[in-house]
Amino acid sequence: MAKRIILIASGNGSNVENICSFFEKDQKIFVVGVYTNNPKAKVIDRVFRFGIKTKVFDKEAFTNGELISIIKKQKPDLIVLAGFLWKIGSDWLNEFPYKIINIHPALLPKYGGKGMYGKHVHRAVKNNNDEETGITIHYVNESYDEGAIIFQSRVKIDNEDSIDTIASKVHELEYANFPKVIHRLLNKENK
């Protein structure tokens, strides 16, 4: 039976585009919608070529149950947060238990929590002279970046690496692993 993915993002959308591209020719897993809280998000343009429905929502729709209702009608098997910065409420978790995952650009539990995203994370990694960083894909719970870890991947950091270089290394891990982990999670449910 076909599996259905919903993607939620706030900004650039490179991970969303990568996921859409990965599943574009898959006959068993489909991206059925891309949602964003930012009407100027690049993610809208990035997914246009895939013919996937996009929808912009505001804080009210996100918190009053309207967006949950819209997404529930699409019967998602997995909701993927890819650069989405708002905190997921208990109403979402109750409606979609263990069906919401997130990617974080660090090796959690390091550098997680409110305000720790993108360059903020990479700057903290650089300032602490860490020898490695990576990505964490995890289930979403009531707290920022504290849900059960599904997958982590690491990359070495050199002393001369700039924040942009660190970001680039982390993006490579995201692109290489995020779609595969989603695929594995959805196929595990088929067994």
Amino acid at 11: G
Question: Is the model's pTM score more than 0.85?
Answer: yes
Segment 47-91, tens digit of pLDDT = 999 999 999 999 999 999 999 999 999 999 999 999 998 999 999
Tokens of 117: 């995203």
Given 104, 122, 138, 183, which residue is catalytic? 104
**Residues 110-149: pLDDT tens digits?**
999 998 999 999 999 999 999 999 999 999 999 999 999 9
- 84: closest CA among 110, 117, 59? 117
Parse the chain into domains and list their residue ranges: 3-107+136-154+175-188
pLDDT band at 1 (very low <50, low <70, confident <90, very high): confident
At 5 the pLDDT is 98
Q: What is the mean pLDDT of the chain?
A: 95
Residue 191 is predicted with a pLDDT of: 42
Residue carrying the six token digits 């059925």: 32
Contact assessment for residue 54 and residue 33, using Cβ atoms and an 8 Å cutoff: yes
Is residue 177 over pLDDT 90? yes
Catalytic status, residue 104: yes
3-state secondary structure of 83: coil
**What's the mean pLDDT in 179-183?**
98
Question: According to the 3-state scheme, what is the secondary structure of 96-159?
Answer: CCCCEEEEECCCCCCCCCCCCCHHHHHHHHHHCCCCEEEEEEEECCCCCCCCCEEEEEEEECCC
CATH class label, 3-107+136-154+175-188: alpha beta
The predicted pLDDT at position 66 comes to 97
Number of helices (H) and strands (E) in the chain: give both, helices first. Answer: 7, 7
